């Protein structure tokens, strides 16, 4: 996963996922090299994060409607206010086009609480009647198929826990990157990860009990009798599913995911589910082949469809339908939704204001409509040009570093350089925009807009199957403060919104820009060769282009990085998982090293005078560390450790321990707590 690809996985509706847990754990956070953030009483070699960010962390407080805060939070708040203003302008000039009219209607529908209250639970009734009418396993398969929806990028968010039984990901075929293929992903869970069901930690037991209470409350509010018994049945079924789910670390091994199954093979490989009926209901009756990402989990879930009581599956379907859309129901439902998903799982004390949740709603369903307006107002051409220059400098550094590798054989090196030369880098926005003409948006129907939006997205993705791949396709909108590596496209995307302070400032010192946005760009380039990206060739195909000797060296070095991050322990009962976060940690280290070299190469021939506070090399590393400053509520931090392929921000800042330039800049010596002996430092590229 690209370290900046922190796309939130939306369960069934974007409105249900983001409003109560607004987090930007994978984004830069703070002005570069700010002396007021620093704790000078700490030696850089003992705790570099505390040295750079300690004063800020001591004084920072998390707003009641957030689960985290960072120095850049006010700037991110301003970004969302900008988007709200653009939405407001669109409402004033609806006559300017269908995009403006859609944006205005969608936003209005979310803000219209009186209309939502007046409709009550009427939007639930027809779907719940359909679920209640299920009489046999074939009808169950039909309803399960009808609820199949599109999943996010498996290579950038592989821990699928959709409350739908499975998820469909449409992407280039791993072995034929010219055409789109259908990937089938594990699903069925609403808690963030299988460990929430299986862990014996007291905190997890407490969350499970609160989840059971949440299930019972929602079922009762929707008019179901004997809600406690139903909650027990649902919990039992999800526990059984969780036992068979692949862990996040297992998911990250893409070689295990390449499992092409013919549609005709599903009944024998995964008995229990009427696959013919399931695929027909999902609109996939003519799809001859699927790539099954987690075959043992898919088989186990299919078996449960055939063995778990029909009544249990009906309860499970009903609850997940209600839970997924609770944020768009009357206040009693949305409040209960926040009580569990916001307070219990993430630790937030208060919901974000409704206008802000409305911005997320529009972003989720009409992202490209809003994006076209955004770039006209907030993306100057000079910013794009300057970032493209930094990208070119980073690519040149990687080319030089790969050529200079002494451990890599010529054949592997040639493939690596070929892949680097073929890398497609998009800056700002894509070349084409989505056409939402067939997405029906009504100004008085928030629930229906979400339902139709999820279905539209699924149909949009499904329509790609078998067609030629659009190599210029973007997976993020321009207003997304993030970035992504796309291994199957051999491409990188840097949306316009990340190319602004605090990540990038055309007026900032080169040291600061290279220490933040340069490290981000270097990180994304590095994903091309990391523990996941190294499995794909220059055309995005899953192909081993390494000699056995080279890969053995690569594995031994990565094992050292796994051990390095395994040693970090945010909680007494929970350490980081070095294997789970390996690809991101590798990219952090390599990206930082490349950005440092690119900075030293690109800075003026006559070095600028050092600032009063620190030398320019120090400024580079301080800027990097401060870009990862963040303070999280314990529940949110625990969830991140368990479910994210990235290390939490304060630990990402410690990538400096592997960079020789950091030791020189701060005169870090043996005996200091974060000193690593040269042989223990990991720097592959």
**Residue 56 vs residues 51, 167, 455: alpha-carbon distances, Å:** 10, 41, 44
Q: Give the pLDDT mean for 166-177.
A: 94
- Mean pLDDT lowest for which of 102-111, 472-481, 501-510, 648-657? 501-510
Residues 183, 186, 192: CA angle, nearest 5 degrees:
125
What was the pLDDT predicted at 531? 73
| Closest residue by Cα to residue 516 from 592, 612, 429 | 592
Over residues 385-410, mean pLDDT: 93
Least confident range of 87-101, 215-229, 642-656: 87-101
Q: pTM, whole model, 2 decimals?
A: 0.88
- Ordered domains of the chain (ranges, CATH): 33-60+68-83+365-426+442-466+497-673 (3.40.390.10), 112-351 (1.10.1380.10)
Burial class (CB within 10 angstroms; exposed 0-12, middle 13-18, buried 19+) of 239: middle
3-state secondary structure of 571: strand
**What phi, psi does 594 have (nearest 5°)?**
-70, -40
What percent of the chain has pLDDT above 90?
78
Tokens of 3: 């370290």
Please give the distance of CA 156 from its chain centroid, rounded to a whole number: 6
User: Which pLDDT score is estimated for 584?
Assistant: 92
Q: Is the pLDDT of residue 613 over 80?
A: no
Residue 163 is predicted with a pLDDT of 67
Q: Which residues pair with 185 in a beta bridge?
A: 167
pLDDT, tens digit (0-9, with 9 covering 90-100), for 303-341: 999 999 999 999 999 999 999 999 999 999 999 999 999
Which one has a higher pLDDT value, 382 or 79?
Answer: 79
Question: Rounded to an integer, what distance in angstroms lies between the CA atom of residue 28 and that of residue 34?
Answer: 14
What's the rounded mean pLDDT across residues 597-613? 63
Among 407, 669, 559, smallest CA distance to 677 is for: 669
CB 610 within 8 A of CB 531: no
Calculate mean pLDDT across residues 222-248: 97
At 500 the pLDDT is 85
The pLDDT tens digits for 253-312 are 888 999 999 999 999 999 999 999 999 999 999 999 999 999 999 999 999 999 999 999
431-451: average pLDDT: 96
Position 162 scores a pLDDT of 56
Residue linked to tokens 């209309």:
115
> Phi then psi for 534, rounded to 5 degrees?
-65, -10
Structure-block tokens of residue 226: 């004997």
**CA distances (Å), origin 72, targets 6, 195, 481, 504, 629:** 16, 31, 12, 12, 9
Q: How confident is the model at residue 32 (pLDDT cuts 50, 70, 90)?
A: low
Q: What is the mean pLDDT of residues 591-616?
A: 72
CB 88 within 8 A of CB 108: no
Query: What is the structure's pLDDT at 94?
Result: 67
pLDDT level of residue 16 (50, 70, 90 thresholds):
very low
Query: What Rg do the C-alpha atoms of the chain give, in angstroms?
Result: 25
User: Which residue did the predictor score with more confidence, 680 or 251?
Assistant: 680
Neighbouring residues of 402: CB distance < 8 A, sequence distance ≥ 6:
408, 413, 416, 417, 420, 685
Which 8-state DSSP code applies to residue 172? E
Average pLDDT over residues 64-86: 91
Average pLDDT in the 203-231 region? 97
* Residue 519, token pair as written in the block: 């490290």
The residue-averaged pLDDT of 377-386 equals: 86
Q: For residues 652 and 585, give the distance between their C-alpha atoms in angstroms, rounded to a whole number.
A: 7
Tens digit of each residue's pLDDT (9 = 90 or more) over 562-599: 999 999 999 999 999 999 999 999 999 999 999 999 99
The structure tokens listed for 385 are 């040009």
Is pLDDT of 19 > 50?
no
The count of residues in the chain is: 685
Q: Mean pLDDT, to the nearest integer, of 100-112? A: 97
Given a cut of 80, is residue 642 above it in pLDDT?
yes
**Residue 642, beta-bridge partner list:** none
* 49-to-211, 469, 589, 622, 656 alpha-carbon distances in Å: 35, 43, 15, 9, 10
pLDDT tens digits along 521-555: 999 999 988 777 888 999 999 998 999 999 899 99
At 95 the pLDDT is 66
Q: How confident is the model at residue 156 (pLDDT cuts 50, 70, 90)?
A: low
Residue-averaged pLDDT of the chain: 90
pLDDT at 179 over 50: yes
């Amino acid at each position: 996963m690209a370290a900046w690809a922190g796309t939130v996985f939306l369960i069934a509706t974007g409105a249900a996922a983001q409003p109560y847990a607004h987090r930007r754990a994978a984004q830069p956070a703070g002005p570069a090299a700010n002396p007021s953030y620093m704790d000078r009483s700490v030696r850089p070699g003992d705790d570099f994060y505390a040295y750079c960010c300690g004063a800020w962390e001591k004084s920072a407080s998390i707003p009641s409607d957030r689960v985290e805060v960072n120095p850049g939070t006010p700037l991110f708040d301003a970004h969302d206010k900008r988007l709200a203003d653009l939405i407001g302008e669109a409402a004033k000039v609806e006559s300017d086009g269908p995009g403006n009219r859609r944006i205005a209607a969608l936003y209005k529908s979310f803000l219209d609480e009186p209309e939502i209250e007046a409709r009550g639970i009427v939007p639930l009734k027809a779907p719940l009647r359909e679920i209640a009418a299920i009489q046999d396993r074939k009808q169950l398969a039909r309803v399960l198929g009808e609820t199949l929806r599109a999943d996010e990028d498996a290579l950038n968010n592989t821990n699928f826990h959709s409350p739908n039984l499975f998820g469909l990901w449409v992407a280039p075929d791993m072995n034929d990157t010219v055409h789109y293929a259908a990937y089938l992903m594990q699903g069925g869970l609403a808690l963030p990860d299988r460990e929430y069901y299986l862990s014996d930690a007291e905190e997890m037991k407490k969350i499970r009990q609160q989840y059971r209470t949440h299930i019972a409350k929602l079922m009762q509010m929707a008019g179901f009798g004997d809600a406690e018994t139903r909650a027990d049945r649902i919990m039992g079924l999800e526990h059984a599913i969780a036992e068979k789910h692949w862990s996040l670390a297992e998911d990250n091994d893409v070689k295990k995911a390449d499992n092409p199954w013919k549609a005709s093979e599903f009944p024998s490989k995964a008995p229990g589910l009427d696959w013919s009926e399931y695929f027909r209901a999902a609109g996939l009756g003519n799809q001859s082949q699927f790539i099954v990402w987690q075959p043992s989990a898919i088989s186990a879930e299919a078996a449960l469809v055939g063995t778990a009581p029909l009544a249990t599956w009906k309860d499970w379907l009903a609850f997940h339908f209600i839970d997924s859309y609770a944020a768009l129901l009357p206040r009693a439902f949305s409040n209960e939704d926040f009580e569990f998903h916001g307070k219990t799982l993430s630790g937030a004390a208060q919901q974000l204001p409704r206008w802000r949740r409305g911005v997320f709603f529009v972003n989720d369903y009409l992202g490209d409509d809003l994006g076209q307006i955004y770039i006209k107002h907030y993306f100057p051409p000079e910013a794009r040009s300057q970032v493209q220059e930094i990208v070119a400098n980073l690519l040149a550094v990687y080319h030089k570093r790969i050529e200079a590798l002494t451990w890599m054989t010529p054949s592997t090196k040639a493939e690596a350089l070929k892949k680097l030369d073929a890398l497609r880098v998009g800056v700002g926005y894509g070349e084409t925009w989505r056409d939402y003409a067939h997405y029906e948006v009504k100004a008085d129907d928030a629930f229906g807009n979400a339902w139709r939006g999820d279905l539209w997205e699924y149909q949009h993705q499904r329509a790609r199957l078998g067609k030629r791949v659009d190599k210029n396709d973007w997976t993020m909108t321009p207003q997304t403060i993030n970035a992504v590596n796309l291994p199957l496209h051999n491409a990188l995307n840097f949306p316009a919104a990340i190319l602004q302070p605090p990540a990038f400032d055309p007026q900032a010192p080169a040291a600061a820009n290279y220490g933040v946005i340069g490290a981000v760009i270097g990180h994304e380039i590095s994903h091309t060769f990391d523990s996941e990206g190294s499995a794909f060739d220059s055309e995005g195909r899953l192909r081993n282009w390494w000699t056995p000797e080279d890969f053995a060296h690569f594995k031994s070095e990565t094992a050292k990085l796994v051990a390095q991050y395994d040693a970090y322990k945010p909680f007494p009962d929970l350490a980081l998982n070095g294997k789970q976060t390996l690809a991101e940690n590798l990219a952090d280290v390599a990206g930082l090293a490349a950005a440092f070299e690119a900075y030293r190469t690109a800075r003026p021939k006559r070095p600028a005078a050092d600032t009063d506070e620190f030398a320019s090399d120090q400024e580079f590393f301080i800027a990097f560390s401060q870009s990862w400053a963040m303070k999280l509520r314990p529940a949110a931090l625990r969830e991140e450790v368990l479910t994210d392929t990235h290390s939490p921000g304060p630990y990402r800042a410690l990538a400096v321990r592997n960079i020789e330039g950091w030791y020189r800049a701060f005169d870090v010596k043996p005996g200091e707590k974060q000193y690593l002996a040269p042989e223990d430092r990991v720097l592959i590229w």
